[in-house]
Copies of this chain bind each other. A is one copy, B any other.
Amino acid sequence: MTPQRGNDGSIDTRLQGDFPVVSAESAADLVSDDATVLVSGFGSVGYPKEVPLSLANSNRDLELTIVSGGSVGGEIDEQLVEANAITRRYPYQALKTAREAINDRRIAFSDRKVASLGDEVQYGGLVDPDVAIIEAVAVGKDWLIPSTSIGQTPAFVNAAPKLLVEVNSAQPLALQSLHDNYLPGKPPNRDPIPLTEPDGRIGSSRVEFDPSKLVGVIETDRSDTTYSFRDSTEDDQAIAVNLRKFLTEEMNRTPVFDDALHLQFGVGSLGNALMGELAEFDPDGRDVIYFGEVIQDGLLEMLDAGHIESASATALALSEEGQAKLFENIDRYGEDIVLRPTNISNNPALIDRFGVIGVNSALEIDLYGNVNSTHIRGTHVLNGIGGSNDFNGNSLVSICALPSTLKGGDISRIVPLTPHVDHTEHDIDVFVTEQGIADVRGCSPLERARMIVDNCTHPKYRQDLREYLDRVEEQDGHIPQDPELARELFD
């Protein structure tokens, strides 16, 4: 199925209007010391670079609140953090410097679901924004064209009273052909989102704004801090084999999947590896369409090889090589890739309507099917919930895929009780590890636990987990549990 085309990529000049083109330093002066700053960016790309760097290099005593769509690069989550300029950060981060500052509680962090963040900022009382700083490939007096990610740019531009735009000549103008900007209406009586196919288009390459908001345009040619994916491991490949086995059975289970499979994979190296391994999956004539939040290298390869028809996402979360490949062949990819705002790419209603099969990972799971995807030992945040709950909570079939162990097998990722819960026992249908598949649909909590132990745990930990279950089964209760015994066997 070829995506319905709405954009013709007709903008050929980066600066088109009578607005102040300013230096990054002058732009930084427009940001007050304790400003709440909304920044573009998702999947570590498409974020503003020059103004954050100028702020980091100023000698000002800054106490900024930084709200992004998703993860951003080093200019924000390293250099601004090192300058002690950030006191508050939403909703997600993925760099060590920001992470350490959050775990040391030098930065107050609130880990938010990314789909609803645009509404939280515009209508939900999360913040009172002062300025939006947006990276664009081109800007006019009342419009801009985003770069390698869209994230919450339309919502942020709508919510902020002032707007700074960084026009980045390192990002191809032709990215416009990928974009489908659409901002849902204002509650409480907004219209349904009119997207009827996962790869359809309902909007424009441009994000429009009130021209009086635009206080400065900054020119730059700094590249994104791109992702680096680790190589696929043996565990990744074994998980992929099990996932393909499940998908093959599932597509024959219900007529819902007779014509097409709409898949999503979570962000990160495992998701990237699983996407790449789809080359071996035979959809038996069905269209496979990706409806997720990021385009990673593995997905680009699947598009190249024709294993996937088309892809919808909010960011091009590619490695440096992946980004170079995309930039070189952007006209071709523009036929098959559409980028959307995160409140569309991750929209609960659309995930539901498109009958998405969502595949997301986790740090650890417990025997009853509760998932910790954010906090190591329950205390130290890794990145954040991101879009995982948007998909886990609303997919027709939600799959949690993870290796059964970490640290070379020294720690089981499957534990009796997880100390932090991001996705509850109500959210996940199927668990997949390198050991096997636990399809827990319709299972009681203890049935789930037995199936997860039998099918998904590493043999090294299976006996201890069985002993735990045997002993808690001596108690009554729908979900018997014994935190002390859990600690005794697993700490």
Give me the interface of A with B, judged by CB distance under 8 Å: 88, 90, 102-105, 108-113, 116, 119-120, 123-127, 186-194, 196-197, 250, 253-257, 259-262, 348-349, 352-356, 370, 375, 377-381, 385, 389, 393-394, 396-397, 419-426, 429, 439, 441-444, 446-447, 475-481, 483, 487
Contact = CB atoms under 8 A, between A and B. Distances in A.
Given A126-B441, A380-B476, 9 more contacts: A123-B254, A125-B250, A188-B354, A189-B197, A192-B193, A378-B479, A378-B481, A379-B479, A422-B426
A370 to B, nearest CB: 7
B190 A379 contact: no
Contacts of A480: 379
B355 A188 contact: yes
Contacts of A481: 378-379, 419
22 contacts: A109-B478, A119-B396, A123-B254, A124-B429, A125-B253, A126-B441, A187-B355, A187-B396, A188-B257, A188-B355, A189-B196, A189-B197, A190-B353, A377-B477, A379-B479, A379-B480, A380-B477, A393-B393, A419-B483, A420-B479, A421-B424, A483-B487
B478 A380 contact: yes
Contacts of A385: 426
Contacts of A353: 187-192
A429 to B, nearest CB: 7
A420 B259 CA distance: 40
Contacts of A88: 442, 444
A444 B483 contact: no
A380 B483 CA distance: 15
Contacts of A349: 192, 348-349, 352
Contacts of A421: 370, 421, 424
Given A124-B396, A379-B480, A424-B421, A188 B262 contact: yes
Most B C-beta atoms less than 10 A away, residue of A127, A193, A250, A426: A426
A111 B189 contact: no
A175 B486 CA distance: 53
B475 A125 contact: no
Contacts of A429: 124-125
Given A126-B442, A355-B123, A378-B481, A196 B191 contact: yes
Contacts of A254: 123, 125
A430 to B, nearest CB: 9
Most B C-beta atoms less than 10 A away, residue of A124, A194, A370, A396: A124
B111 A425 contact: yes
A110 to B, nearest CB: 6
A36 to B, nearest CB: 10
Given A103-B476, A478-B103, A483-B419, A109 B424 contact: no
Contact of A348 (B105, B257, B394, B426): B394
A267 to B, nearest CB: 17
Most B C-beta atoms less than 10 A away, residue of A190, A377, A442, A476: A442
Contacts of A443: 108, 110
Nearest to A442: B126
Contacts of A483: 419, 483, 487
Given A103-B477, A478-B375, A479-B381, A187 B348 contact: no
A442 B127 contact: yes
CB-CB nearest 9 A-B residue pairs: A187-B355, A192-B192, A349-B349, A379-B477, A188-B355, A108-B444, A421-B421, A381-B478, A348-B348
Given A187-B354, A379-B481, A110 B393 contact: no
Contacts of A397: 124-125
A86 to B, nearest CB: 13
A90 B442 contact: yes
B105 A478 contact: yes
B187 A123 contact: no
Contacts of A478: 102-103, 105, 109, 375, 379-381
A120 B398 CA distance: 12
Contacts of A126: 441-442
Contact of A188 (B250, B256, B477, B479): B256
